[in-house]
């Protein structure tokens, strides 16, 4: 990177102290980006895989938990959901429910 003024450096120093919430948000944002390969850009699917955008948050969370436990029959989602924690699943449900 190029040279910085002392002020800019000070501002940057503050920015670099990303709090735990910010880090967690980023963690979820990146995971969510790996879901859209199948579920479509912005959670809007162009084919048979269901769209996630704007669905009810509780519905999404329950669906994911039931897919993980096998209560819901799935093709790929049981294998997928076993890779994520309960907290991640709750946050992913929030993330996709907020998209339009």
Partner 1 sequence: MNPNRRQFLHASVASMALAAASGNAFAKSGKSHPHVVVVGAGWGGATCAKYLRLWDPGIQVTLIEPNPHFISCPMSNWVVGGFQDFDYLVKSYDNLPRYGIQMLQDLVIGVDADKQVVRTRGGRRIRYDRLVLAPGMEWMTETVEGYEDGAKAQKVMHAFRAGPETLLLRKQLEAMPDGGVFIIASPPRPGRCVSGPYERACAAAHYFKQHKPKSKIIMLDGDIDIVSKGPMFKAAWKEFYPGMIEHRPNNLAMGFDHREMVVRTEFEDVKGDVVNIIPPQRAPRLCKDVGVRNDALDRWCGIDFVTYESTSVPKVHVIGDPVLSNMPKSAHVSNNQAKICAAALIEILNDRQPLPTPVIGSTSYSITSDHTSGSIAVVMRYDPAKKAYIRQPEGGANTRHSELDFAYGRAWHENMWADTLG
Q: Which does 92 bind (CB under 5 to 8 A by kind): ligand HEC, partner 1, none?
A: ligand HEC
Three-state SS string over 55-84 comes to CCHHHHHHHHHHHHHCCCCCCCHHHHHCCC
53 interacts with ligand HEC by CB under 6 A = no
**Using the rule CB under 6 A, is 50 a contact of ligand HEC?**
yes
Which of 17, 30 has the CB closer to ligand HEC? 30
For partner 1, the closer CB: 63 or 88: 88
Judge contact between 41 and 87, C-beta under 8 A. Answer: no
Burial (CB < 10 A; 0-12, 13-18, 19+), residue 20, is exposed
49 binds ligand HEC (CB under 6 A): yes
Which residues of the chain form contacts with ligand HEC (CB under 6 A)? Answer: 31, 35, 37-39, 49-50, 52, 60, 63-64, 74-77, 80, 92
């Amino acid at each position: 990177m190029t040279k910085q003024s002392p002020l800019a450096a000070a501002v940057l120093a503050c920015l670099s102290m990303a709090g735990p919430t910010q880090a967690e948000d980023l963690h979820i944002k990146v995971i969510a980006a790996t879901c859209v390969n199948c579920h479509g850009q912005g959670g809007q699917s162009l084919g048979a895989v269901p769209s996630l955008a704007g669905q009810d948050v509780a519905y999404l969370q329950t669906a994911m938990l039931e897919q993980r436990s096998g209560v819901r029959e799935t093709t790929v989602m049981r294998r997928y959901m076993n890779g994520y924690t309960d907290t991640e699943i709750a946050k992913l449900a929030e993330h996709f429910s907020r998209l339009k």
